Amino acid sequence: MVYPRIAFVTNFCTHYTAGFFAELASRVPTDFYFYSAGGEWYWEQRSGVVRQKDFHFRYLPGINLGQTRIAFTLPFHLFAHSYDVYIKCINGKFALPLTYLVARLRRKPFILRTGVWTDLKTPSQRLLAPLVRHLYRNADAIVTYGEHVKRYLESKGVPSERIFVAPHAVDNSAYNRTLTPQEQEALRARLNLRPEQRIILFLGRLVASKGCMDLMQAFAELQDKDAVLLLVGEGPEHARMEDYARRNGFDGRVRFTGYKRPEEVFHYYSISYAMVISSITTDGGREPWALTVNEAFNAGVPVIASNAVGAAAGGLVQDGVNGFVVPERDPASLCAAMQHLLDDPRLHNSMSAAARQKIAHWTQAGMADAFMAAVRYVSQR
């Protein structure tokens, strides 16, 4: 069988995406072009980017003009080789229209990948809205993070047969590890936790879009005073959250760990009872996914997520089965869900088992399957 040759353009390669890229490249000849060094505002730069992996890729030099990354050599690389299919993620004000233009000039199929599932309302996104609508209408296929994105695209008039759902996944083997009982005990001691205290975990950037203050308000109302809120991450909301806990008298039940490297985070899942992702809708959109859900499920940690989290809207978090889905900006509902899990250990254990079972089938191989289906679809048109 003759396989098409693919140009896959995106901003950079992370510890999350490296395994998927390798899986796709093992199935079909693919050249990856990365036009950024990982300096985007939404990425924790200390987590780094992957620069050594067993697939073919290039990091292209470039400059930043405001928030736009210009990689001047990208058109040369896209034109210099005989690619059969061009794939581009929806990010990149320069790289996105350029890749689409090259595909059209070469008369080759263009596949768009997106996790956007709501209208974006920032000034720059409003300016780019006509281009995005054009891509939705004219991309030969679109690969989405989940069913929630598919529903959104269908509401914009994209035919369902052109939409392929690639379940947004991590390398499960990196997160289904656990600490030994002795290691867990040592970590709890470093965090100054008593044996009876159960951990509600938040892991991510401490920023307003994560609904951090909703979480603090919800935790303040918990009846279980042996619960501890463990906040793993850094961000501009840290001081405000710390001050709120102190003023409301529960700062002794909150732990801030600061930033932790990707290879360390499974330590904190290992000792946690439940995890909360309280993200909210902003002008910049909704949480496209939240891969921390995938991480937590691999450790058997139930997740309480707001309905503004892609992993909840996309079907990974199943309300009442492996966690709870609560309305965004609703601290009372968030508190009730946490209290329910704390009050019912049997429910917690059931949700923990269901989380592990669900995530075992939510894999990067499944992501590659969806991309291959999209490639076959556009190659046969």
Structural domains for the chain: 6-169+363-380 (3.40.50.2000), 172-360 (3.40.50.2000)
What lies within 8 Å, CB to CB, of 333 at 6+ separation is 326, 327
pTM beyond cutoff 0.75: yes
pLDDT at 127 over 60: yes
* pLDDT value for 73: 97
What lies within 8 Å, CB to CB, of 356 at 6+ separation is 176, 297, 298, 300
Decide if 325 contacts 160 (C-beta within 8 A): no
User: H helices then E strands: how many in the chain?
Assistant: 14, 15
Percent of the chain with pLDDT over 70: 99
What's the rounded Cα separation, in Å, for the pair 176 and 161? 35
* pLDDT value for 42: 82
pLDDT at 30 over 80: yes
Residue 316 DSSP label:
S
**Burial of 289 from C-beta contacts in 10 A (0-12 / 13-18 / 19+):** buried
156: number of Cβ within 10 Å: 11
State whether the Cα torsion 37-43-45-50 is positive or negative: negative
pLDDT at 3 over 80: no
Q: What is the mean pLDDT of the chain?
A: 96
User: What angle is formed at CA 292 by the lines to CA 258 and CA 116, rounded to 5 degrees?
Assistant: 115
Residue 201 DSSP label:
E
Q: Which of 163, 159, 135 is nearest to 149 (CA)?
A: 163
- Residue-wise pLDDT tens digits, 294-310: 999 999 999 999 999 99
| Cα 76 to Cα 61, 71, 81, 102, distances in angstroms | 12, 10, 9, 10
More confident residue, 53 or 350: 350
Which has the minimum average pLDDT: 17-21, 39-43, 317-321?
39-43
* pLDDT value for 66: 86
Percent of the chain with pLDDT over 90: 92
Taking CB atoms within 8 Å and a gap of at least 24, the contacts of 67-75 are 67/41, 67/93, 67/124, 68/93, 68/94, 69/11, 69/35, 69/36, 69/94, 69/95, 70/94, 71/33, 71/35, 71/36, 71/95, 74/9, 74/33, 74/35, 74/98, 74/99, 75/102
pLDDT at 1 over 60: no
- Residue-wise pLDDT tens digits, 130-184: 999 999 999 999 999 999 999 999 999 999 999 999 999 999 999 999 999 999 9
* pLDDT value for 33: 98
What's the rounded Cα separation, in Å, for the pair 96 and 246? 46
pLDDT at 2 over 90: no
- Residue-wise pLDDT tens digits, 186-220: 999 999 999 999 999 999 999 999 999 999 999 99
Amino acid (one-letter) located at 47: S
* pLDDT value for 39: 83
In the structure encoding, which two tokens stand for residue 238, read together?
């840290």
pLDDT at 19 over 70: yes
* pLDDT value for 345: 97
| SS3 call for 348 | helix
- Residue-wise pLDDT tens digits, 223-263: 999 999 999 999 999 999 999 999 999 999 999 999 999 99
What lies within 8 Å, CB to CB, of 105 at 6+ separation is none
Taking CB atoms within 8 Å and a gap of at least 24, the contacts of 221-224 are 221/331, 221/332, 221/335, 222/335, 222/338, 222/339, 222/342, 223/339, 224/198, 224/339, 224/342, 224/343
Q: Which residues, listed in sequence order, are joined to residue 141 by a DSSP beta bridge?
A: 111
User: What angle is formed at CA 173 by the lines to CA 167 and CA 174, rounded to 5 degrees?
Assistant: 95
What lies within 8 Å, CB to CB, of 202 at 6+ separation is 210, 212, 215, 229, 230, 231, 232, 233, 275, 276, 277, 278
User: What angle is formed at CA 89 by the lines to CA 38 and CA 39, rounded to 5 degrees?
Assistant: 10
